[in-house]
């Protein structure tokens, strides 16, 4: 064994002696590997050794600086120049170990021929990766600037909604006062009007009319009952007429059939063979029955129509109209037009009418009577004014609640994000053309499939949530990288249409692809500046240095 080692020793010494003295030296240290009078000083200054002992595969310096290109000294580093790529340092213990280190793409860490020089390929791939990262960095920078405008919009929108809410609150307070005043006026007017109306309803004429109305209503119900009974009886007799056998000579049945045919004005059925002709005769339309009353011809249809109208008559309103008719004919036209006291209400706002009525009543009682205005009309006008104001109040309250809800959602992590970056995109619509269809998504509203030619637009789902995965925390970039649109129109003989929208950072809001992964289950991919988080220069440089 010793003889074998001694045979290899000259070869090892020869190879070591053939190494360049600066082999494995980092570029920033090459200037320190220069002999002085055939001598060289260790980098730690501890001693001076012959120049030929550098890179001789024998550790002579305490710091191991005399063996930069071999693995003779522990805790030292070997530098790979990697021409065509980026130089790198590896521990010297990995030099000449028979393993091609990926950091040394030129193969210089091993003896010639052991490792292939792949620096050109590695360098090209690295350049492409750097170019892609630079492009991504540029996209991030540009996208984050756009995102900052989205955030600014959210703050402005929050302020606008808060101001609107405050303004609505003031309007509501003023409207509540107005509504209460109008309600008091309406109730006071209606109370007086009801008392007057009750008195008028005790008149003999009104009571007689009510008796007639009740009689008509009872007669109508009786007529309807007899009509149904006659129809049922007719169906029974018609069945008998069509189904009896005349050969049995049952005179009772025959008389019943003939009596029914005469009553119903039907042709006599002599035998079964003439049934078709009889049926055709029965199909012939007969003119409707008519009755002449006071020279006017009334049909059953006219009677039914007029009867319904009479029964549904609002007799209270009719009584008031009759009273107004008589009053308008009793009061001279010139008197009714000349009284400014009673016409001035048309120039007053609704809430002031009640106070004016009180003042007017006092003046009338003091100076004498005036033409009595219609209490029904006054009550109706007061109630209409109250209803209108009350409806306006409810609308103001609804608008305020809506404004408050919208403001609360702007900086909610489960809606538009903690910074409100997504508020700008609310109901923003983007499209994708795949040749056959136009796919559209309106953020936070609905996704659709629209045919380019004739056809029906299909709903692919309405916005339901962000990323629903239980492993994803709301507010994180992963949470906002996925939107779910569900419960679209149902596929033919299939489930409802749904969409998963996968989003990444980009300088534009766009759909980049559409796939139907399963039947009626679609996956959209797209980009948006809302996902471009701010990138600091220091973070970017640190990342680059780590990769190098």
DSSP 100-160: --TT-TT-TTS-TTTS---HHHHHHHHHHHHHHHHHHHHHHHHHHHHHHHHHHHHHHHHHH
Residue 274: φ, ψ to 5°: -95, 10
C-alpha distances out from residue 370 to 93, 354, 361, 365, 382, Å: 122, 18, 10, 9, 21
C-alpha distances out from residue 517 to 497, 499, 520, Å: 12, 10, 8
Of 308, 327, 331, 307, nearest in space to 319 by CA: 327
Positive or negative, the CA dihedral 166, 170, 175, 180 is positive
Say what the pLDDT of residue 545 is.
36
CA dihedral 313, 316, 322, 328 (to 10 degrees): -130
Domain ranges for the chain: 19-116, 427-534
pTM of the predicted model, to two decimals?
A: 0.50
**Tokens describing residue 3:** 């003889």
Say what the pLDDT of residue 281 is.
52
Q: What is the rounded distance in angstroms from the CA atom of residue 447 to the CA atom of residue 429?
A: 9
CA dihedral 526, 129, 477, 461 (to 10 degrees): 20
Count Cβ atoms below 10 Å from residue 533 Cβ, excluding itself: 13
Count Cβ atoms below 10 Å from residue 446 Cβ, excluding itself: 18
- For 159-174, the pLDDT digits (tens) are 999 999 999 999 999 9
Q: What is the rounded distance in angstroms from the CA atom of residue 64 to the CA atom of residue 53?
A: 12
Crossing angle between the packed helical segments 204-243 and 300-311, to the nearest 10 degrees: 140
Positive or negative, the CA dihedral 175, 181, 185, 190 is positive
Q: What is the rounded distance in angstroms from the CA atom of residue 19 to the CA atom of residue 78?
A: 13
Say what the pLDDT of residue 15 is.
43
Which residue is it, tokens 């440089």? 541
Say what the pLDDT of residue 351 is.
54
Say what the pLDDT of residue 537 is.
44
Residue 188, CB half-sphere, CA atoms under 13 Å: how many? 11
**Tokens describing residue 375:** 């209490």
Q: List, in sequence order, the alpha helices (H) in 331-374.
A: 333-338, 340-343, 353-367
Question: Which residues on neighbouring strands pair with residue 433, listed in sequence order?
Answer: 438
Say what the pLDDT of residue 504 is.
94
Which residue is it, tokens 């759909």? 511
Mean pLDDT by 10 residues, the chain (548 residues): 38 50 93 94 93 94 94 93 92 92 93 92 87 79 91 96 96 94 83 66 74 78 83 78 67 74 72 49 55 68 72 68 60 47 53 58 49 65 90 96 95 95 95 93 96 89 96 94 96 91 94 93 96 66 39
Cα-to-chain-centroid distance, residue 172: 29
Say what the pLDDT of residue 312 is.
72
By the 8 A CB rule, do 154 and 420 touch? yes
Output the CATH code of domain 427-534.
2.70.130.10
């Amino acid at each position: 064994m010793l003889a074998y080692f001694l045979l290899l020793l000259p070869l090892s010494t020869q190879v070591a002696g053939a190494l360049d003295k600066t082999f494995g030296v980092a570029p920033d240290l090459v200037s320190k590997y220069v002999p002085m009078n055939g001598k060289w000083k260790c980098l730690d200054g501890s001693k001076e050794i012959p120049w030929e002992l550098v890179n001789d595969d024998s550790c002579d310096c305490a710091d191991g600086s005399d063996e930069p290109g071999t693995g003779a000294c522990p805790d030292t580093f070997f530098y790979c120049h990697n021409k065509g790529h980026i130089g790198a340092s590896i521990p010297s213990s990995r030099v000449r170990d028979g393993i091609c280190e990926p950091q040394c793409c030129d193969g210089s860490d091993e003896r010639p021929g052991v490792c292939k020089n792949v620096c050109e390929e590695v360098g090209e791939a690295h350049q492409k990766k750097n170019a892609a990262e630079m492009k991504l960095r540029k996209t991030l920078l540009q996208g984050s600037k756009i995102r900052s405008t989205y955030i600014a919009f959210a703050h402005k929108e929050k302020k606008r909604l808060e101001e609107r809410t405050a303004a609505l609150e003031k309007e509501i307070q003023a409207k509540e006062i107005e509504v209460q005043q109008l309600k008091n006026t309406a109730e006071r007017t209606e109370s007086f009007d009801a008392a007057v109306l009750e008195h008028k309803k005790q008149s003999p004429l009104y009571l007689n009319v009510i008796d007639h109305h009740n009689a008509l209503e009872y007669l109508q119900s009786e007529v309807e009952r007899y009509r149904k009974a006659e129809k049922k009886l007719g169906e029974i007799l018609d069945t008998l007429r069509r189904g009896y056998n005349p050969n049995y000579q049952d005179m009772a049945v025959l008389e019943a059939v003939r009596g029914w045919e005469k009553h119903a004005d039907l042709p006599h059925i002599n035998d079964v063979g003439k049934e078709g002709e009889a049926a055709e005769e029965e199909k012939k339309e007969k003119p409707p029955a008519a009755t002449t009353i006071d020279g006017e011809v009334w049909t059953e249809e006219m009677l039914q129509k007029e009867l319904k109208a009479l029964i549904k008559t609002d007799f209270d309103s009719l009584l008031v109209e009759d009273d107004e008719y008589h009053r308008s004919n009793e009061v001279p036209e010139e008197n009714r037009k000349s009284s400014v006291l009673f016409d001035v209400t048309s120039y007053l706002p609704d809430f002031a009418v009640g106070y004016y009525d009180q003042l007017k009543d006092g003046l009338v009682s003091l100076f004498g009577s005036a033409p009595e205005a219609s209490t029904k009309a006054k009550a109706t006008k007061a109630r209409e004014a109250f209803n209108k104001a009350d409806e306006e109040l409810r609308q103001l309250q609804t608008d305020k609640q809506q404004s408050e809800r919208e403001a609360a959602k702007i900086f909610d992590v489960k809606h538009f994000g903690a910074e409100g970056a997504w508020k700008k995109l609310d109901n923003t619509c983007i499209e994708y053309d795949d040749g056959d269809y136009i796919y559209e998504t309106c953020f936070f509203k609905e996704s659709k499939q629209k045919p380019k030619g004739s056809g029906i637009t299909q709903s692919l789902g309405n916005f339901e949530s962000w990323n629903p995965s239980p492993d994803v925390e709301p507010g994180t970039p992963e949470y906002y990288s996925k939107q779910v649109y569900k419960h679209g129109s149902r596929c033919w003989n299939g489930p409802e249409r749904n969409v998963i929208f996968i989003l990444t950072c980009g300088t534009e809001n766009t759909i980049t692809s559409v796939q139907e992964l399963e039947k009626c289950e679609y996956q959209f991919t797209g980009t948006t500046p809302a996902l471009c988080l701010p990138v600091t220069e220091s973070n970017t440089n640190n990342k680059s240095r780590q990769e190098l």
